[in-house]
Amino acid sequence: MTPDTGTLPVQAARKDGIDPAGMRVIWLLLVAAFVAILNETTMAIAIPKLNETLGIEPELGQWMTSAFMLTMAVVIPTTGFLLKRFTTRQVFLAAISAFVLGTAICLIAPGFTVLLIGRIVQAAGTGIMMPLLMTTIMNVVPAHSRGRMMGRVGLVISLAPALGPTLSGVILDHLGWRWLFGIILPIAVVALLLGAKWMTNLGETSHAPIDVLSIVLSAIAFGGIVFGLSQLGGGHGGSGSVPEYLAWGALGGGLVFLALFIWRQFVLQKIDDALLDMRVFSSGNFTMSVTIMTILALAMFGTFSLLPLYLQNVAGLGSTEAGLVLLPGSILMGVLGPLMGRIYDARGPRTLLIPGTILIAATMFTYSTVGETTPAWFLAVVQMAMSLGLASSFTPLFSAALGSLDRSLYSHGSAALSTLQQVGGAAGTAVLVAIYSAALHSGQERGLTAAMAGAPGARTAFFVAACIALVPVVLAFFIKKPEEAEFGEEQAPPGH
């Protein structure tokens, strides 16, 4: 560490191991990531209960998840700049403080509006956390060990999805929804206190001014796209619906502002002042990996948001039982993380990615056949198969994508990858739940029960997700292992 700043130099990434100070920072970030993901996964099971308790329609209540992911999609593009402009310690403490504040707001919220505001504040902190973790790993972990480290990351952060739905179900059945945040809050406070004491700065900072126009363009672009998608085809009779022409207008306007945002970044990167440096996409391997990640996020988050609605409204399971259906798959995904990382280091991405994407698509097509009488044990087995596919896909995608970039672009690469993943997830959640809600409302208007009306909508939504998941199966054949990861050398410039 440098004596004048207390900063750990980037050169801590040695070929013979990981610097202990850098490893400590990674584990601190993993604790924070655990808290954030636990918070996010408890909400998926809670939404049907919140819809009932607060008296809101499914497509409006789903914004508890969609607004969370959308906020992260707005925040994450700034992290490439923030990680260069501010110290690791400053960024971490700001992020975890925002998360603590948002959790406290949710805990005392008197109704849906304040609860949604709290979720947005939570998301502002969460959005910074994962790019910070990924950038830190790339800087302090030697190239030949990154797959194993990504696998360990998968092990730790999979504990949260394993515990989240089941914990949420038990709390909702016995304590009430406020305790979802009452349990998260002390854990988040502990993470804040640990960070205040132990967080170390990594790398050097710059003093480039932040471009406010880029932030505005980013917020309008991603907000318009996801809001438009959430309304198209879904709001028949729902309190969250808007006229179709407004939905198309929001989507079209979002795409226009996205084009303006990208143009602005190309202009600013000529003087190294871009909020999100687009040179990361000059690497074909990075671009292909991020494309697959975005499509998988769209299908996966949409499915994971729809599944609790199906389990409770169509299959007739309680909150606890619905959480238990999801539990075995999440545990399996976490346990397999380190193994997948070792396989990636030894064999490269295709050995994992090709069968993994095939398995994801196959399980989604299986979900498209479910009905009112589908047994819970069968759903749990299908979920385990999907978790195996996800474990086989995410570790090689993260490692291959970021390993393809020059060191100076790690933070921007992490930001771009996380941004597109969150936008894909928000869009998938909005679209699939909209399809389900449209069928539900239509069936109930014809006098059908919620189970009878919801089953066709769930099957249609799962089928849409399955068709989307076929694209990564094709693209998986084109992902390569970066030369740096094979030979332990410095990475080639983007595009090589």
Percent of the chain with pLDDT over 70: 85
| 3-class secondary structure, 415 | helix
Q: Where are the domains of the chain?
A: 15-487
Average pLDDT on 445-459 reads 80
Residue 44 has pLDDT above 70, yes or no: no
Q: Indicate yes or no: pTM above 0.85.
A: no
Say what the pLDDT of residue 118 is: 93
In the chain, the N- to C-terminal Cα span, in Å, equals 33
Q: What's the chain's length in residues?
A: 496
Average pLDDT on 5-13 reads 44
In whole angstroms, give the CA distance from residue 410 to residue 84. 10
DSSP 143: G
Structure tokens at 259: 């084009």
Superfamily for domain range 15-487: MFS general substrate transporter like domains (1.20.1250.20)
Give me the residue label for tokens 């969370």: 68
In whole angstroms, give the CA distance from residue 457 to residue 435. 6
Say what the pLDDT of residue 261 is: 92
pLDDT confidence band for 16 (50 / 70 / 90): very low
DSSP output for 168-228: HHHHHHHT-THHHHHHHHHHHHHHHHHHHHH--EES----PPP-HHHHHHHHHHHHHHHHH
Average pLDDT on 296-315 reads 80
